Amino acid sequence: MQRIEASKKMFIKKNKEITAKELKLIANKIRQDIIKMLFTANSGHTAGSLGMADIFTALYFKILNHDPANPQFEERDRLILSNGHICPAQYACMANAGYFPEKELLTLRKLNSRLQGHPNKLDLPGLENSSGPLAQGVSIAAGYAYAAKMDKKDFTIFCLMSDGEHQEGQLWEALMFAGNKKLNNFIGIIDRNNIQIDGYVENLMPLEPLRQKLEAFNCNVYEMNGNNMQEVVITLENVLKNRDKTTRPSIIIAKTAPGKGISFMENKYEWHGRPPKKEEAESALKELQAERERINESDQ
Amino acid sequence: MNLNKKLFLVEDLNKAEKVATRDGYGKGLLELGEKNKNVIGLCADLTESVRMNWFAEKYPERYIAVGVAEQNLAGVAAGLALAGKIPFASSFSVFSPGRNWDQLRVSICYSKANVKLCSSHAGLTVGEDGATHQALEDIAITRVLPNLVVIVPSDALETKKATLAIAKYKGPVYMRFSREKTLVYTTEQTPFEIGKALLLREGKDATVIACGIMVAEALRAAEMLAAEGISVDVINNHTIKPIDAETIVNSVKKTKAVVTAEEHQKTGGLRGAVLELLAERNLHFAAGYVAVEDTFGESGTSAALLDKYGLTAKYIVEEVKKVVKKKQVV
């Protein structure tokens, strides 16, 4: 592990002071990194990674109690990514937060890389789990939350899920367990982007009424626009504030636009599992750079 | 009688008592509850059947009922392990790893999560419940997984020792055991070490390698063979993976004939593991097996099933005679 710049380390330490504008700039940088990574890898999942860039940024740069210089510290919050295929967004956040050098991002999916196509916990310090086959992370997060309760630990287990993976039976086994065992330290975030590989979720195998399903499984349900940084931060802080006032697990349904930030990718399921070609990557980066200038000029 | 004296085995099998290997697991788990506060028991609605009830009653705060949900059983166990616990996750072998193989593969083995997947009711000896509940494929589908230790203890006492041993070992383990009462041919003094096969009895004409409840049958077969002037090595190969190459290779080099015996399909289990090993060593030997012939089981008493499907001492005797004859031709 390379030495982390002091400024970066200070920046990441549960930065209470960070503004929405700063977070937006980081999310913009994360999106640019994702485009570069997927273009270089020439494979990977573009839409979901871009859509979840804001939430990953809010978690890694504002919400999570963590320390890139000491990834194993006991009291850290645990971020369990269940839909492992959107790991480019997580890798980009981890590198920008100081877990590993940013230049390593371009090794994504290459031979001997620590950045596997789907995350491998044993390869990269800072990853809490290995994932790929959908819904497995939800059970792992529930087990982790159960252990934390047994040990009277105060940290929170954040479990990131896709909406498509709610078609897996195991996910509901896990939520039934989390509700029954009163795991209020379990906070789930669903990337409700309505796409899966073969089409739109609501056409292919609809989840609605999703809120009612989750409530019927004894979860507190929140909703937010997962691409509005202010709303993401406020909602996450609110859920955390309410955590100990309830015995239920909390689930946030985060409405996101797959491919968010790139006009020709947004809301197109075709971008679920393909990387940008050269011209596409160039025009995507151009759009993101223009957006960066707009954020810089804005008040917040 | 040429039992290995260093192993303190029961000398007269007719006097051996009968106890189910699942009881050994339950007793081991109960002892672990006292010894190690990190040990957690999880069960998918079969607590008494797998004998986790003794642990659950004494340590309710460390017992987790997950309901009829084997995939979640494996996943929750993985999460507990990542948090530093030593989860023992139990069900029947047909369901776990039968229904949660992908969870075992990715959530547990890929992360080297310290989970002990311990499953009862393996094999035909489940009896009357019939084919759906008789796991005959579990060794094959587990021993192929990287990072996973696979153990098939041979009697109740050994199952207890194995339960204690796997708690000390750091890493994923699959252990299978059975419902039916079977011969306890070992004693408290008999050693158990993960990965170390035991040469129970020495001979020169053939090697019988068995696991699980077939080990006692192999010992009975050895006695029957001795009466006819044929002497065999009998190896208790309780650890399918990592396999004890040294013990097996040394024996087969000597006897040049091997018969495997297992309560499992003939493909992919103990036989597969042994033959893969011997083929790599380029040895010349005659091989036979006692196992289920690529078929499903059915309802019946345990004893009737073992006889119908050819898994008793007399079938081992027949198979040994065949390989002894075969090697003379070779």
What's B298's domain CATH number? Answer: 3.40.50.920
Note the pLDDT of residue A14. Answer: 52
Q: What is the mean pLDDT of residues B196-202?
A: 98
Domain endpoint, select from B157, B183, B209: B183
- Res. B104: pLDDT tops 60: yes
Which residues of chain A carry a pLDDT beneath 50? 1-4, 6-8, 10-11, 13
Judge if B11 and B34 occupy the same domain.
no
Which residues does chain A have within 8 Å of residue B74's beta carbon, measured at their own beta carbons?
A: 139
Q: What is the pLDDT of residues B45-102, one digit of tens each?
A: 999 999 999 999 999 999 999 999 999 999 999 999 999 999 999 999 999 999 999 9
Q: What is the pLDDT of residues A145-204, one digit of tens each?
A: 999 999 999 999 999 999 999 999 999 999 999 999 999 999 999 999 999 999 999 999
Q: How many CA atoms lie less than 13 Å away from B215 in the CB half-sphere?
A: 28
What's A225's domain CATH number? Answer: 3.40.50.970
Share of chain A above pLDDT 90, in %: 92
**Preceding omega of B97 cis (within 30 degrees of 0):** yes
CA-nearest residue of chain B to A120?
A: B111
CB-based contact, B171 to chain A, within 8 Å:
no
- Confidence class of residue B165 from pLDDT cuts 50, 70 and 90? very high
Judge if B97 and B223 occupy the same domain.
no
Choosing from B11, B70, B128, B202, the catalytic residue is B70
Which residues does chain A have within 8 Å of residue B107's beta carbon, measured at their own beta carbons?
A: 129-130, 136, 139-140
Domain endpoint, select from B141, B164, B183: B183
Judge if B142 and B257 occupy the same domain.
no
Is residue B24 within 8 A of residue B177, CB to CB? The reply is: yes
Note the pLDDT of residue A10. Answer: 47
Judge if B176 and B28 occupy the same domain.
yes
What is each CA distance from A69 to A1, A13, B265, in whole angstroms? Answer: 9, 10, 51
Question: Does the beta-carbon distance from B76 to A120 stay under 8 Å?
Answer: no
Is residue A194 within 8 A of residue A115, CB to CB? The reply is: no
Q: Which residue from A136, A144, A146 is facing B106, i.e. has the nearest CB? A: A136
Question: Does the beta-carbon distance from A138 to B75 stay under 8 Å?
Answer: yes
Q: What is the pLDDT of residues B206-232, one digit of tens each?
A: 999 999 999 999 999 999 999 999 999
Mean per-residue pLDDT over chain B, rounded: 97
Judge if B196 and B313 occupy the same domain.
yes
In chain B, the number of structural domains is 2
Judge if B56 and B11 occupy the same domain.
no
Rounded distance between C-alpha atoms, residue B308 and residue A295, angstroms: 77
Range of the domain at B250: 5-15+190-329
Q: What is the mean pLDDT of residues B129-140?
A: 98
Question: Does the beta-carbon distance from B82 to A169 stay under 8 Å?
Answer: no
What's B160's domain CATH number? Answer: 3.40.50.970
The size of the A-B interface in CB pairs under 8 A is: 101
Note the pLDDT of residue A7. Answer: 43
Q: Based on the residue annotation, tell me whether B128 is a catalytic residue of this protein.
A: no
CB-based contact, B84 to chain A, within 8 Å:
yes
- Cα A82 → chain centroid: 9
Question: Does the beta-carbon distance from A139 to B112 stay under 8 Å?
Answer: no
Judge if B56 and B175 occupy the same domain.
yes
Which residues does chain B have within 8 Å of residue A145's beta carbon, measured at their own beta carbons?
A: 79
Minimal CA separation from B148 to chain A, in Å:
15
Range of the domain at A169: 20-297
Note the pLDDT of residue B330. Answer: 58
Other residues' Cβ atoms within 10 Å of the Cβ of residue A133: 19
Question: Does the beta-carbon distance from A146 to B61 stay under 8 Å?
Answer: no
CB-based contact, A167 to chain B, within 8 Å:
no
Domain endpoint, select from B183, B213, B231: B183
Which residues does chain B have within 8 Å of residue A169's beta carbon, measured at their own beta carbons?
A: 71
Judge if B27 and B164 occupy the same domain.
yes
Note the pLDDT of residue B251. Answer: 98
Task: State pTM to two decimals.
Answer: 0.96
Q: Which candidate in A170, A171, A172, A185 is best for mutational testing of the B interface (most B CBs within 10 A)?
A: A170
Judge if B30 and B165 occupy the same domain.
yes
Please provide the size of chain B in residues. 330
What is the layout of strands, in order, in the sheet containing B116-120?
B63-65, B39-43, B86-92, B116-120, B173-176, B149-151, B239-241
